[in-house]
Amino acid sequence: MPASTTIGHLIDKQLSADLREFLHTAGERATGEGFRLFLVGGMIRDLLLSRPSRDPDLLVQSANPSMNDAPNLASVLAKALGGEVVSVSQFGTAKLRVSGFEADLATARQETYASSGALPDVTPTTIEEDLARRDFTVNTLAADLSLDAFGALIDLHDGAADLQQGMLRVLHDRSFQDDPTRLIRAVRYETRLGLHMAPETEAAARRDAERLKQVSGDRVRHELERIFEETQPELPLARADDLVLFPTLVSTLEWDPELSRAVQSIREAGHETTPLLYLALLSVPLAKGNSEALVARLNAPATWTEVIRDTHTLRVRLPSLAVDNILPSAVYARLLGLATESILAWSALAPNQTSRGLLLSFLMKWQSVKPHLTGDDLLALDVPEGPQVGELLQELLNARLDDVVVTRDDEETLVKDRLAG
């Protein structure tokens, strides 16, 4: 084992008071209960890179390893700290919620894979073996939280050196074959942490890209979702395209450079770039059959399905917007009910400037327009109960959109004219 350095001073200097107190208390309680407790994962990377960090990942090992080690310690800590255990999984993990943050506890474990892309079979083990089965060397760092060695850094795979050199490296040549979702994770880590793949790691990624076909839609979607939640998702998406990952999901799926330029223009215009906007942008080039293939491949939930399908629907409707002197009410009718992300994506990518302007006008102005009069107002004006109420409300909306009426008095006049006619 390499000589350990310590990050205890970084914990005490960089973390908030509540996190510092939690880590010290958790280490003390774990020692008293006969557990070894270690800080692992992103918080260690963040401390070494002087980046902000909040929710800690903890690794638990007992003298007689059991898959219940982490859940058992989580219960102890919940009682000691006035927190609660909010979830426990079959893989020996538990989520502990305390005031202001959440901590993920995992039992030190080994993983074996029945086939490439399958969920792992897990058994309890030592911290050394747990760290050896991780995805990248920068994720193999651990810090002891015990009373007599608080902050001692365990670095068995040169993770600290790789982090310092900006290198993302797998631990062994079959890493992407064991878990192909690491391919998507790799592009996210590269861009989030400012790393680049070691040459042999990138060669393995390109070699094993096809393995993503063996991964369930739910797992792929989860990894894409985490990319969409990044500060600049277009960067890992472009890198994934460079590694030819997207065609393993749907043959024509890609992240063209034009999509990154679209994101930039949307940001510059002051619009919010929500996670599902990136799904809409990915869906823009897809024909209907491939849109449905993407829905099926990702086992898409309702919100994702709506965005994918609405993006294709708008592709079909765009030509009908590119007509001379089209009225706002006609634009409204064509766009009502479509996902905002789909409309925003096409507002940056529609083939002509007129259509782009109409899409933006809908989002920024027309979609929020409503008549001054309500159904009750119409009844008070002696409109008979029945379908005529709805018809007049629609006519009033169209008239307001098209600036035929402006004030409430204008609307009342229109209604009276219809009743008189």
Of 191, 201, 277, 266, which is closest to residue 236 (Cα–Cα)? Answer: 191
> Residue range 348-374: average pLDDT?
96
Number of H helices, E strands in the chain: 21, 11
- Classified by CATH at the fold level, domain 8-161 comes out as Beta Polymerase; domain 2 (3.30.460)
Instruction: Give pLDDT, residue 113.
Output: 66
Q: What is the pLDDT of residues 130-172, one digit of tens each?
A: 999 999 999 999 999 998 999 999 999 999 999 999 999 999 9
* Whole-angstrom distance, CA of residue 118 vs CA of residue 120: 6
Based on its alpha-carbon atoms, the radius of gyration of the chain, rounded to whole angstroms, reads 28
Residue 325 has pLDDT above 80, yes or no: yes
**Start-end of CATH 1.10.3090.10 domains in the chain:** 175-294
52's CB contacts (< 8 A; 6+ apart) are: 46
Instruction: Give pLDDT, residue 91.
Output: 87
**Start-end of CATH 3.30.460.10 domains in the chain:** 8-161
Instruction: Give pLDDT, residue 1.
Output: 37
Alpha helices per DSSP H over 35-116: 42-48, 69-81
Phi, psi (rounded to 5 degrees) for 39: -85, 130
> Residue range 19-33: average pLDDT?
95
> Residue range 189-193: average pLDDT?
94
* Whole-angstrom distance, CA of residue 417 vs CA of residue 409: 12
Instruction: Give pLDDT, residue 355.
Output: 95
* Conformational region of residue 369, where left means phi above 0, alpha means psi within -120 to 50, and beta covers everything else: beta
CB atoms < 10 A from the CB of 303, how many? Answer: 12
Of 312, 263, 314, which is closest to residue 285 (Cα–Cα)? Answer: 312
175-294 domain in CATH 3.40.50.720? no
334's CB contacts (< 8 A; 6+ apart) are: 317, 320, 321
* Higher pLDDT among residues 317 and 3, named by residue: 317
Sheet with strand 153-154: strands edge to edge: 84-88, 93-98, 101-107, 57-62, 35-40, 142-144, 153-154
Residue 3 has pLDDT above 50, yes or no: no
Instruction: Give pLDDT, residue 84.
Output: 96
pTM: 0.88
> Residue range 190-218: average pLDDT?
96
64's CB contacts (< 8 A; 6+ apart) are: none
Q: What is the pLDDT of residues 29-85, one digit of tens each?
A: 999 999 999 999 899 999 999 999 889 999 999 988 889 999 999 999 999 999 999
Entry field: residues in the chain: 421
User: Are the C-beta atoms of 91 and 122 separated by less than 8 Å?
Assistant: yes
Angstrom CA distances, 333 to 156, 205, 326, 394, stand at 62, 46, 12, 11
Of 256, 252, 258, 318, which is closest to residue 287 (Cα–Cα)? Answer: 252
Residues paired with residue 154 on neighbouring β-strands, in sequence order: 142
Instruction: Give pLDDT, residue 112.
Output: 72
Comparing 31-40, 89-98, 112-121, 273-282, the range with the smallest average pLDDT is 112-121
pLDDT confidence bin for 116, thresholds 50/70/90? low
Instruction: Give pLDDT, residue 114.
Output: 64
pLDDT confidence bin for 110, thresholds 50/70/90? confident
* Whole-angstrom distance, CA of residue 380 vs CA of residue 192: 60
Instruction: Give pLDDT, residue 153.
Output: 96
Q: What is the pLDDT of residues 350-360, one digit of tens each?
A: 999 999 999 99
Of 98, 91, 100, 102, which is closest to residue 58 (Cα–Cα)? Answer: 102
Instruction: Give pLDDT, residue 2.
Output: 41
Instruction: Give pLDDT, residue 338.
Output: 98
Mean pLDDT value across the chain = 94
* Whole-angstrom distance, CA of residue 86 vs CA of residue 395: 52
